[in-house]
A = this chain, B = another copy of it.
Amino acid sequence: MSKVKVAAFSVSLDGFGAGADQSLEHPLGIRGGELHEWFYPTQRFQAMIGKTGGSSGIDNEFAERSFDNIGAWILGRNMFGPIRGPWLNDEWKGWWGDTPPYQVPVFVLTNHPREPIVMKGGTVFYFITDGIEAALEQARKAANGKDIRIGGGVSTIRQFLEKDLIDELHLAYSPVFLGTGENLLAGIDLPKMGFTTSKTVFGNGAVHVLLTKK
């Protein structure tokens, strides 16, 4: 059965999944990059940026696992790029260059229609203007029985949680305090929604928790 998953999503100990004031210079918000310091040294991330080497421990295992059996992604528009408002032209094709790491269809939530973009390596960006449930329906078809990964950002994940559309969350708590930014779980009661912690592993740079529905 196809699952809807959040995976390898980094959160600060004070609950923020992104810093404040996102911009082209700070795509993850101010200090948002610190959330991912567990991820950057991993073999998986090093391979994503075309390098060899990297760590092979627990953090890497969770990084690898986050890509397993994924048939489609759903991203908020800010995860696709820094541009706000209507698309001015077709130049921006995501943060990753010609060959993004998704390698499957990616459904980008936006208010502004745009033609699909076929990238190298299997990634196709589709732009969905009629909401998260429409995006999920299309992602399910595209995933063809595999899982659907809700990539983020915080606002997108919160929308899916608020409609109870998520089956599994792997959150990576990084030992940093941002003080301000986008709070992932404020007002969201995961136990009440039926989530229990089915796995907890302390890595080198983060505490990995896997939350699944009872």
Contacts and interface: CB of A to CB of B under 8 A. Distances in A.
Interface string A11-34: 101110000000000000000000
Interface stretch (A69-77, A80-88, A120-128, A187-195): A187-195
B200 A177 contact: no
What's the dominant secondary structure at chain A's contact region? loop
A179 B11 CA distance: 16
B209 A191 contact: no
A189 B197 contact: no
A211 B175 CA distance: 11
Given A15-B15, A173-B173, A186-B186, A178 B207 contact: no
A197 to B, nearest CB: 6
A202 interface: yes
Nearest to A199: B175
A103 interface: no
Nearest to A15: B15
A179 B189 contact: yes
A138 interface: no
Given A180-B189, A180-B192, A186-B186, A175 B13 contact: no
A18 to B, nearest CB: 15
Contact of A177 (B14, B177, B179, B191): B191
A11 B15 CA distance: 12
Contacts of A195: 177
A176 interface: yes
Interface of A: 11, 13-15, 171, 173, 175-180, 185-186, 189-192, 195, 197, 200, 202, 207, 209, 211
24 contacts: A13-B173, A13-B207, A14-B15, A14-B185, A173-B173, A173-B175, A173-B207, A175-B197, A175-B200, A175-B202, A175-B207, A175-B209, A176-B197, A177-B191, A177-B197, A177-B211, A178-B191, A179-B189, A179-B190, A179-B192, A180-B189, A186-B186, A202-B207, A207-B207
